[in-house]
Structure 1
Amino acid sequence: MPGVSRTALYAAIRRDLRAGLSTREIQRTRHVTWRTVKAAEESAWPQPRAAYPDRGSKLDPFKPVIEEMLVADLEAPRKQRHTATRIFNRLVNEHHLTGVSYDTVRAYVRQRRPQMQAEHGRGEADVFVPQTHLPGREGEVDFGEITVRLRGELVTCHLFSLRMSYSGKAVHRASATGGQEAFFEGHVHAFDVLGGVPAGKIRYDNLKAAVAQVIGFSRQRVETDRWIAFRSHFDVDAFYCQPGIKGAHEKGGVEGDIGFFRRNHLVPVPEVDSIAELNELIDGYDTADDHRRIGHRLHTVGEAFAAEKTLLKPLPLEPFETGLWLTPRVDRYAQVTVRSNRYSVPSRLIHRPIRVLLNASDLTIYDGRTPVAHHERLLGKGGSRLELDHYLEALTRKPGALPGATALEQARAAGTFTAAHEAWWAAACKTHGDTAGTRALIEVLLLHRHLRSEQVVAGIQAALQAGAFTADAVALEARKAADTDPSSVATNCAAANDEPGQVGSLTEQRLTHLPSDTRPLPTMTPYDQLLGRSKETS
């Protein structure tokens, strides 16, 4: 009967037989043969249909050859084994295969390869043993890549993740690179957020930031010196996973966490102006994830972590310097080379050795103990990051070098050299000539060292309206703008005076910013007592 399963048909036939219907009548009403009626009478379950015999194929004479190739692959290096394409080409060129398509050969190889591996004791399926993680004992660490739009440009950053195995609480940190600085900064940030260090082991793969050499196929590693010092400082017990894809299964929690974080928090691609802004977003995402529930767990991530937070090892009192100290020499372009990128320093430091503290996403340059420059770390290699302010003293002597200066182009791209600067420069050059006008602009740019950028821009705009194209005029207007700025020092100075409009005292302004003195007033009583004793003895 069309549309009825064989089991339902057998059930109907058996009901008809119990009702006393004859075999002929059942055949007529059910549209079946007498063999079907007899089979239903013998068993309520239909017998499986007999399989059709395999039809011959043009590939049959070549199957032993294919199997020989697959057997040879069992002893061959993993990257030099037969693919289906290579097997098909060998059959055509060496064994004159004709009339058989590539798809037929590929389907047979796909079916036969795992069978051959099983027959020869190879390729057994991995068994995943369920694990129980104790609270506060274990963590997992890994790096992943993320894509963000940084100041309008699509760039690839690195995402550090430390995940607690028991609660699933994960702490993330984005950085410009995935080097040792980012590795250490990620740990320090995670430990600060967690409030402690896992009391047991933290699982790692073979990151170059920690592992200098993998010894054979064992779990023994030669660790880097800075990583040894870091582990000693925070009392971290490291557990290294097996190399390759097998090791990923040993820290599957953090492997899946990075993918979850990308899909749920970084889609669509976030747009930020700095790595610091990106990390602020990431911190908010981590806090929001405390309210999610993993799988069929009874408690949320935050609730489970609250139970294990008190079991963590306490943090050390002394900080650990996560950055890397370097000592390059300043070249004749007032630049230092750090990790294949160039960064500017004040031109007075040319040909002098300086110190650089390299962090994951920025670097600070020191002249002795005095910081002289700070740069956001460049992504990639072969780039340069120059500040126009570092070249102003040199440009005073060489004003003709300013129009084509790379630092000027970067200042324009960053928006620090504004349209107001451009307009005033053009007007000053028209009034005083190119050389004198450019020198006047350089004097205006030097004002940025003492006044806020918006105050200088306001002074430039006021000077443009007044037709005053000297640096003194811009300085005067900029200081007027500073006087009317509620957040400026000049306003605080004026507020410290009793009479409005009176010129403020620098001493009074400094005194207003000093903390209150709670010490008692000095007294001369002890000295008077000493004087009294001296009179008695005399």
Structure 2
Amino acid sequence: MARSRVELFEAIRRDYRRGVSLRGLAERYGVHRRVVRQAVDSAEPPPARKAPVRAAPRLEPFKAAIDAMLTADLTAPRKQRHTVRRVLARLVAENAAGDLSYSTVRDYVAVRRRELAAEAGRGRQEAFIVQTHRPGEEAEVDFGELWIRLAGVPTKVYLFALRMSYSGKAHRVFASQGQEAFIEGHLHAFDVLGGMPTVKIRYDNLRSAVSRVLFGRNRTESQRWVLFRSTMGFEAFYCMPGIAGAHEKGGVEGDIGRFRRNHLVPVPEVATLAALNAMIEDADRADDDRRLEHRLRTVGQDFGVEQPLLVALPVDRFEPGRVLTPKVNRYGLVGVRQSHYSVPARFIGLTVRVVLRASEVIVFDGRTEIARHERSVVKKSQTFVLDHYLEVLLRKPGALPGSTALAQAREAGVFTMAHEAFWAAAVKAHGDADGTRALIDVLLLHRRLPAADVIAGITIALHAGATSADVVAMEARRAQQVSRPDPGSTGAEPPATAREQRRVVSLTERRLAALPPDSRPLPSVAHYDQLLRRRAAGPAPPQQGEVS
């Protein structure tokens, strides 16, 4: 490892004190005797000599032309300014500067460009001022991109962050950064905080809030965003466009990166966005024990000071979803943001009302909810619910085996192995069409009875060899009574055993139980024994090979 000049001088001085000559020191350390004398005279090395500035006599006639080009660059678009090669090319073409070298022009441009920028007032070094925020007064909001593996598929989602400027807080993931996610993120953050900032919330120019950026800080806000702010009662402060504006809300800009690096690395693998948001809520709670830079107290302790100062939330809950009115197509689907969702088949051809939220899609007929789906994060996707098509499948049972609704029900675990077993048994007993209809009748039971009880009824019916939906319904209701007994019962009678309660009752047994007792003796076959004795007393049968 090479020594520094200070270490070299220290070694030379040490050996000189031990009696080594100047010549010997020069040979030992491979330096000139002048360096040895400098080390002996002073422990501090002399300052390095500056390289002399080389004169460029050939460049002198062209400096004015170069300065003119660089001065024009001060007001030119950033991506259309002179490079060194372009400067040299223009000098050759316009001023016949064929003798100039690239390095000569490069060195001059590097120095002169900075000097001209400083003379024009554009070369000042950017400075930042440390801010002190009062508790409960301000917050900052932004979105950040995030990659996850959603059900095994790499998917880009968006991390919403609302950070209280005094203490920090609240994150949530959405499938998009549309206005419904923007508003829903605010509502979630306000619920977590238990209130709103008293002065303002800082934003950049997100399209969810701003429809047009005007001069300075003036903005044309979207009408729904204005309605939301008016309902909730908080003020918005819009930062300057570009990088300069990002520094005005640097707290949330840095917080998104920190949160992503500390809690979302490696790439999260989740089945649903709800599971991911549960992880993020746990991470937010863990961050309560974190200390911000130069803070003595933790985030949780600072928030404890800040929370009582926040503005109370309004009583009326703002609906974050966007209202749409699509028409149900012939497949029983409504199109919402390049995705399709099923509704009950009886609404085919009708116009329904859809509330599009950040994480779910709710479909209404008037004021009655008819369908609710988790919002898809995949464009051109189709989301089916098998229950929506059961009435149609009763008329067209042959369409069930290959239906997409059945495939998605199997994938989601809604169509279980118990259903598969009942279907197979019903088809074997009644044929394809009638067996499938029996299965559909069983599936219709899920509308009135809990799924666990219906599956229990299927299991008992199959154990008894029954493939009737009526038997499944009876046993499902019995299972429901066992799992949830009547609260009005006194409990005086001893409960029947589980085996008796879950046994399928045979109609033949019920009829026999209602008949009077039979006192007649059991029939006898003793008279038929005479035939056996008479046959034994007859002639012996002929042997093989004998002629009778």
| Aligned residue in 1 for 2:165 | 165
Distance in 1 separating the partners of 2:333 and 2:298: 51
Distance in 2 separating the partners of 1:326 and 1:244: 34
Measured at CA, do residues 413 and 496 of structure 1 come closer, stay the same or move farther in structure 2, by a change above 3 Å?
A: farther
Measured at CA, do residues 494 and 149 of structure 1 come closer, stay the same or move farther in structure 2, by a change above 3 Å?
A: farther
Measured at CA, do residues 293 and 426 of structure 1 come closer, stay the same or move farther in structure 2, by a change above 3 Å?
A: same
Contact 1:10-1:46 at 8 Å conserved across structures:
no
Does 1:498 find its partner at 2:492? yes
Name the count of aligned residue pairs. 489
Contact 1:135-1:307 at 8 Å conserved across structures:
yes
Secondary structure at the aligned position of 1:128 is classed as: coil
| Aligned residue in 2 for 1:196 | 195
Contact 2:321-2:357 at 8 Å conserved across structures:
yes
Percent same amino acid at aligned positions? Answer: 54
Distance in 1 separating the partners of 2:450 and 2:104: 75
The one-letter code sitting in structure 1 at the alignment partner of 2:22 is Q
> Which moves more between the two structures, 465-474 or 140-149?
465-474
| Aligned residue in 2 for 1:398 | 396
1:129 Cα deviation (Å)? 1.7
1:478 Cα deviation (Å)? 3.1
Secondary structure at the aligned position of 1:282 is classed as: helix
Measured at CA, do residues 367 and 49 of structure 1 come closer, stay the same or move farther in structure 2, by a change above 3 Å?
A: closer
What are the within-5 Å matches in structure 2 for residues 108-257 of structure 1? 117-118=117-118, 121-167=121-167, 169-216=168-215, 218-257=216-255
Question: Unaligned regions of 5+ residues in structure 1, if any?
Answer: 503-538
| Aligned residue in 2 for 1:326 | 324
Measured at CA, do residues 348 and 500 of structure 1 come closer, stay the same or move farther in structure 2, by a change above 3 Å?
A: farther
The one-letter code sitting in structure 1 at the alignment partner of 2:399 is A
The one-letter code sitting in structure 2 at the alignment partner of 1:153 is V
**Cα shift readout 1:335-371 (whole Å, capped 9, x = no counterpart):** 1111221111111112222222221101221122221
Distance in 1 separating the partners of 2:151 and 2:453: 24
**Cα shift readout 1:439-463 (whole Å, capped 9, x = no counterpart):** 1111111111122223323333344
Among 469, 472, 487, the alignment partner of 1:471 is: 469
Distance in 1 separating the partners of 2:419 and 2:104: 72
Contact 1:14-1:41 at 8 Å conserved across structures:
no
What are the within-5 Å matches in structure 2 for residues 518-533 of structure 1? none
Contact 2:342-2:388 at 8 Å conserved across structures:
yes
Does 1:388 find its partner at 2:382? no
Contact 1:195-1:315 at 8 Å conserved across structures:
yes
Measured at CA, do residues 111 and 448 of structure 1 come closer, stay the same or move farther in structure 2, by a change above 3 Å?
A: farther
Measured at CA, do residues 127 and 343 of structure 1 come closer, stay the same or move farther in structure 2, by a change above 3 Å?
A: same
| Aligned residue in 1 for 2:531 | none
Distance in 2 separating the partners of 1:461 and 1:117: 83
| Aligned residue in 2 for 1:27 | 22
What are the within-5 Å matches in structure 2 for residues 66-105 of structure 1? 73-81=73-81
Distance in 1 separating the partners of 2:154 and 2:106: 40
1:69 Cα deviation (Å)? 6.9
Contact 1:494-1:500 at 8 Å conserved across structures:
no
Measured at CA, do residues 434 and 362 of structure 1 come closer, stay the same or move farther in structure 2, by a change above 3 Å?
A: same
**Cα shift readout 1:246-297 (whole Å, capped 9, x = no counterpart):** 2111111011111111121222333434333332332222222111111121
1:326 Cα deviation (Å)? 2.1
Question: Unaligned regions of 5+ residues in structure 2, if any?
Answer: 497-548
Does 1:46 find its partner at 2:41? no
Contact 2:355-2:361 at 8 Å conserved across structures:
yes
1:93 Cα deviation (Å)? 12
What are the within-5 Å matches in structure 2 for residues 280-295 of structure 1? 280-295=278-293
Contact 2:196-2:234 at 8 Å conserved across structures:
yes
Distance in 2 separating the partners of 1:78 and 1:66: 18
Distance in 2 separating the partners of 1:42 and 1:125: 41
Distance in 1 separating the partners of 2:395 and 2:93: 76
Contact 2:210-2:222 at 8 Å conserved across structures:
yes
> Which moves more between the two structures, 180-189 or 429-438?
429-438
> Which moves more between the two structures, 220-229 or 452-461?
452-461
Contact 2:59-2:104 at 8 Å conserved across structures:
no
Distance in 2 separating the partners of 1:301 and 1:15: 58
Distance in 1 separating the partners of 2:375 and 2:300: 34
The one-letter code sitting in structure 2 at the alignment partner of 1:276 is A
The one-letter code sitting in structure 1 at the alignment partner of 2:131 is Q
Secondary structure at the aligned position of 1:310 is classed as: helix
Among 373, 376, 380, the alignment partner of 1:375 is: 373
Distance in 1 separating the partners of 2:154 and 2:13: 71
**Cα shift readout 1:485-520 (whole Å, capped 9, x = no counterpart):** x3xx4x346855532458xxxxxxxxxxxxxxxxxx
Measured at CA, do residues 173 and 39 of structure 1 come closer, stay the same or move farther in structure 2, by a change above 3 Å?
A: closer
Contact 1:162-1:171 at 8 Å conserved across structures:
yes
Distance in 2 separating the partners of 1:270 and 1:13: 61
The one-letter code sitting in structure 1 at the alignment partner of 2:334 is V
The Cα RMSD (Å) is 4.1
1:88 Cα deviation (Å)? 10
| Aligned residue in 2 for 1:507 | none
| TM-score of the pair, normalised by structure 2 | 0.77
The one-letter code sitting in structure 2 at the alignment partner of 1:348 is R
Measured at CA, do residues 38 and 265 of structure 1 come closer, stay the same or move farther in structure 2, by a change above 3 Å?
A: closer
Secondary structure at the aligned position of 1:207 is classed as: coil
Secondary structure at the aligned position of 2:189 is classed as: helix
Contact 1:215-1:221 at 8 Å conserved across structures:
yes
**Cα shift readout 1:301-337 (whole Å, capped 9, x = no counterpart):** 1111222222222222222222222222222221111
What are the within-5 Å matches in structure 2 for residues 331-370 of structure 1? 331-370=329-368
| TM-score of the pair, normalised by structure 1 | 0.78
| Aligned residue in 1 for 2:427 | 429
**Cα shift readout 1:208-230 (whole Å, capped 9, x = no counterpart):** 111111014x1100011121122
